[in-house]
Structure 1
Amino acid sequence: MTDTRLRGFKSRAELEEHLGEISDDAEAIGAAGHVQDDLKDLEREAAWLRKEVSDLRAQLHVVRGVNQPNQEEQASGRHSWRWATAFAIALTLYHFRMRALHRPT
């Protein structure tokens, strides 16, 4: 029989339970190598997805460039309704002002 010291434990069963937990932890640490491999796989996949997104953005930029008017055409037509509205308001105010000035008193 082996002389096992039970320092810190109340019984041999408690010691056995503690040793079982330690071996479970050791197995978990051994499984950490698999976690590292999985992490590397995920990093590779994330890099591939970043490249795919970059490629898709480049394609979208090309498609938008073909389908959309150039910057000068956009700038000239972007706020044309504002200019038309401002002109209509100014013309109305001018009309009322002229009418008020030429009204016989």
Structure 2
Amino acid sequence: MPKRYPIEQRERAVKMVMDRLGGYPSAYAACQALAPKLGVHAETLRVWVKQAQIDTGKAPGATTAEQARIKELEREVRDLKEANEILKAASIFFASMSRS
């Protein structure tokens, strides 16, 4: 089970990395250097920073809001497919009952 970090800790950590990006050759290097000081895994911090860059338009990709909307739509599609299958099964059942 992944460890959950408070949103305030995430925001502070991302801000710290973003503020210090100029001192490192890459965001990855900054995350590697700062993660132990922040008490998070370097890869976790890198993912947070990458998503923050996407959310602010500094990097291409789906924003957090877009990802949430995509998840919501996928859930809705899954529910509609399930309901459709139930309706198909009921239709077949009632069609076979009327032939008898």
Q: What range describes the TM-score normalised by the shorter chain of this pair?
A: 0.3 to 0.5
Which is higher, the Rg of structure 1 or of structure 2?
Answer: 1
User: TM-score by structure 2 length?
Assistant: 0.40
User: TM-score by structure 1 length?
Assistant: 0.39
Which of 1 and 2 has higher RCO (CA within 8 Å, sep 6+)? 2
